[in-house]
Amino acid sequence: MSLSATTFLFKECAMSRIIGIRHRVKKTKDGEARPTQVVIASNGETVTYDLVDENDELDFVLGRFPVRYRKVAEDEDLSGFIQRQVRWRKLDKRENREQYPANLVRQDGKTWHLATHVPIAFDGFQPGDTAAMVLGGSGDNLAYALSRRGEAIGAKVLRIPPFHLKAQRGDADRKDDALLLTRLAAEKPELFYETGPRDRHLISIREAYRARKDVMKQRIACEQRIFGNLHGQIFRNDEGHYPEGAIEDLYNRAKANDTILQNLLAEETRRERELAEALESFPVYQQIFAPIEECGIMTAARLIGSIIDIRRFATKYKLVAFCGAHVMADGRFPRRRSDEVANWNPEARQALYLLGDQWNRRPGSYWGQKLLANKSRLKQRHPEPLLVDGVMKYTAAHLHRTALWRTGTQFVRHLYGAWWAWQRGISAKEDAA
């Protein structure tokens, strides 16, 4: 959204609320609670809420997040309340549940609970509200829900690229980001982009790719389990009756007869079909990735699902580093080394690796020709192998790998320019409309 369009939005909604949302994954691996933080600014005053789980987030989206409670009456009918919003107390084993009204007790497994409080006041996303969030990251699903709800009730969702938020934060603590977002949305709306149907489509693509990746991992783990069990059964045969056929044949039969594996294979096929359908209807894929001869749907999905939104990256160099196709300060190419942080995105880097393999197999293509040109220049610069610090460099294999990643760097720079050009064109059309 342009500055003029965004400024108009805030002039029209001068008396509306601005909601800053710092989304967080609800628990760390150690079980530490990390609620999503919400700050609502209106008429110079702010109120803060903690959304402790996904139920709270959904309630906030629907405008029914409970913010005030009262004690429950003994003859209270709880059927009119959302049951998870009722506060319950676990009954002690020494307590007799029959001493409490039957309408206020419930059983959960072997445990009994007593209703103590019910909600009487609610808050959440309302007509005229403007929600401000970070672009990308764990808050994508919440941004999707808020945007979809906003279209129905007349509210907006604005998202700021992480590099803008970091620059505006300075040395302040990121725990105050929710409050900072409310101020930035009011004072510097030009830093934000409005979330609309196209952005929701992109979020859906990323989630479709994630679902396909998860089921693929489960399928591979299941195959490994089958092979491990079969291998053990064969070699631990006490009677010594070992099969005459190849183990691979027994393995294939075991896989064909394993119900769990067959279900995972069916789900993987379904997830791939859903991902392909989502990609093929997305303009970024059709206009930027589909014309690239070597870039298949799954490779494009890796890149799109990793990058998410090109507006997250301030420069092409940031995107190159994100994809792991950069050169480090000491001149070395990045790879996993002990005692060094691998701060690139592994999915994006794997996509470049797969693309490089295709460029090598298709030397007549545009990027295949780029690869050949890079290899030729490197060969002219280093015609003979050299022994450097005990390591043989500039061999044919070394030059090939270097040329592959140099071509990958060029591809990422091209991708950055093409995607941003498309993004600016879309933004210009939206502003004109």
**DSSP assignment of 52-92, as one string?**
-SHHHHHHHHTT-EEEEEEEPPTT--GGGS-GGGSEEEEPP
Mean pLDDT, rounded, of the chain: 88
Rg, the chain, Cα only: 28
**What is the model's pLDDT at position 418?**
94
Q: 126: which 2 tokens?
A: 């309302």
Tell which residue, 151, 141, 120, has the closest CA to residue 24. Answer: 141
The Cα 92–Cα 55 span in angstroms is 27
Of 278, 271, 259, 260, which Cα lies nearest the Cα of 214? 271
Q: CA 332, 337, 340: angle at the middle one, nearest 5?
A: 85
20 and 168 together in one domain? yes
Contacts of 380 (CB under 8 A, 6+ apart): none
The answer on 431 and 361 residing in a single domain is yes
Q: Where are the alpha helices (DSSP H) in 294-395?
A: 297-307, 316-322, 346-361, 366-381
Q: Of 276, 270, 278, which Cα lies nearest the Cα of 200?
A: 278
Closest of 309, 256, 11, 282 to residue 134, by C-alpha: 309
Q: Are residues 385 and 355 in the same domain?
A: yes
Q: Which among 281, 303, 324 is the end of a domain?
A: 281
For 372, phi then psi, to 5°, come to -60, -40
**Among 106, 122, 138, residue at a domain's last position:** 122
Look at residue 10 in the predicted model and tell me its pLDDT. 35
Pair (429, 303) in one structural domain: yes
String of DSSP letters for 109-120? TTEEEEEEEEEE
Pair (214, 137) in one structural domain: no
pLDDT, position 2: 33
Are both 201 and 324 inside the same structural domain?
A: no
> 20 and 147 share a domain?
yes
Q: 254 with 270, same domain? A: yes
CA angle, corner 411, sides to 406 and 416, nearest 5? 130
- Residue 284's nearest CA partner among 135, 409, 416, 429 is 416
Residues in the chain with pLDDT values less than 70: 1-15, 28-29, 238-245, 328-342, 430-431, 433
Domain enclosing residue 132, as ranges: 1-64+124-195
**Number of domain units in the chain:** 4
Nearest to 328 by CA among 244, 91, 337, 158: 337
The answer on 228 and 176 residing in a single domain is no
| Token pair recorded at residue 330 | 């000491």
Q: For residue 48, count other CB atoms closer than 10 A to its CB.
A: 11
Q: Judge if 16 and 85 occupy the same domain.
A: no
Residue 367 and residue 328 in one domain: yes
Same-domain status, 175 and 205:
no
